[in-house]
Amino acid sequence: MIQLTRRAALAAALALPAIRARAQVFTKPIRVVVPFGPGGVADLTARAVAQRISPRLGQPVVVENRPGAGGIVAGQQVMSAPADGHTLMVASNGTAVSRSLFRNLPFDPLKDFAPVVMMGAFPIAVIVAPNSPLRSISDLVARMKAEPGRLNIGSISVGSTQHLSAELFKIRTATRAETVVFPQTPQLVTSLLRGDVDAAFEITGPIFGQIESGAVRVLAITSATRAENLPQVPTLMEQGVPDYDVASWNALVTRAGSPPETIAAINRAVNEAMGTAELKDALKAVGVEPRGGTPEAMGQLLTADTARWAEVIEKAGIERQG
């Protein structure tokens, strides 16, 4: 028992200088700007992560919601802050999309933001009404080919991942359908159940209760691998849709030019927190699959998604906003 106590004390003593050194990197509270309103997936993810990295960084980590204008308001908050790594933003697929979607974007996500770390990903589901005759993706594709332009596919928000996922689906399957966009998920689901749209693309978090209750039925998941919370549902690629791998994600970025040591410290803190059962459980409770990883990997994802969605926006003929 004495030997174990001494070992524990020695380990703590060795770890203490590293913790102190990391804390000294930050000289004031850290802000995390969320481009969405309170209570959404991005907000809940940011708050779960912020709570658990604060003691590791030795400073309060304050989450601020700055919704509006497709993330432009939040991005401007970061760009107006000093490049010291103390102001972070929750980046998402929307960040990658914004470069091609907006005419007058006041910043370049690839040049003006420095990637920090991935936080989590959450799958998108292709859903139908419970009484729909469509039982599989093959059924949906067959109908779309037999009746080109006659079916309606629902999603939320022009330029959202859900909207662009529907457009990418039409591109990959060489089919035609009308994409109908709704302001929020409740209106989308109501329209689906009423028969106004034949199928819909939506992230699983907001509709998971309806999936579990049977109020909507899932035909497929859009990511390359099956969703942890819906392991019985096959992916689009499993059902014959080629080269289709889409998942929504949330990550942290900061202003380009921030000190590498602050980026490295936040990255380490998030990765350490991601290794705890407490944070994993908190994220899974809101339908988020925990991630983590290096700043380089996060930057590669942002670059790849920016290129992919630019191609989809061009091929789908989506008008630039703003």
Mean pLDDT, rounded, of the chain: 92
Query: 143 with 189: CB under 8 angstroms?
Result: no
Rg, the chain, Cα only = 21
> pLDDT (tens digit, 9 = 90+) per residue, 307-317?
999 999 999 99
Confidence class for position 6, pLDDT limits 50, 70, 90 = low
CA angle 180-182-186, nearest 5°? Answer: 125
2: pLDDT strictly greater than 90 = no
Residues of the chain above pLDDT 90, percent: 84
pTM of the model: 0.86
Confidence class for position 322, pLDDT limits 50, 70, 90 = low
Give the number of other CB atoms < 10 A from CB of residue 311.
12
Structure confidence at residue 23 (pLDDT): 53
> pLDDT (tens digit, 9 = 90+) per residue, 261-279?
999 999 999 999 999 999 9
Query: 216 with 126: CB under 8 angstroms?
Result: no
Residue 218's beta-bridge partner residues? 127
> pLDDT (tens digit, 9 = 90+) per residue, 83-118?
999 999 999 999 999 999 998 899 999 999 999 999
Q: Quick one: angle between helices 2-25 and 41-57, nearest 10? A: 110
Structure confidence at residue 22 (pLDDT): 53
Measured CA to CA, the distance from residue 147 to residue 267 in angstroms comes to: 50
Confidence class for position 229, pLDDT limits 50, 70, 90 = confident
Strand, coil or helix: 200? strand
Neighbour-count burial for 188-226, b at 16+ CB within 10 Å, e otherwise: bbebbbeeebbbbbbbbbbbbebbeeeebbbbbbbbeeb
- Is residue 297 classed exposed, middle or buried when 0-12, 13-18 and 19+ CB atoms within 10 A define those classes? middle
CA torsion through residues 35, 41, 42, 47, sign = positive
1: pLDDT strictly greater than 50 = no
Confidence class for position 4, pLDDT limits 50, 70, 90 = very low
List, in order of start, the domains of the chain with CATH numbers. Answer: 2-122+248-316 (3.40.190.150), 123-221 (3.40.190.10)
Measured CA to CA, the distance from residue 198 to residue 183 in angstroms comes to: 18
| Distant-in-sequence, close-in-space partners of 56: CB < 8 Å, separation ≥ 6 | 19, 22, 268, 269, 272, 273
Structure confidence at residue 7 (pLDDT): 52
Strands 247-255 and 199-203: unpaired
Measured CA to CA, the distance from residue 268 to residue 200 in angstroms comes to: 38
Structure confidence at residue 285 (pLDDT): 87
> pLDDT (tens digit, 9 = 90+) per residue, 17-71?
444 545 568 999 999 999 999 988 899 999 999 999 999 999 999 999 999 878 8
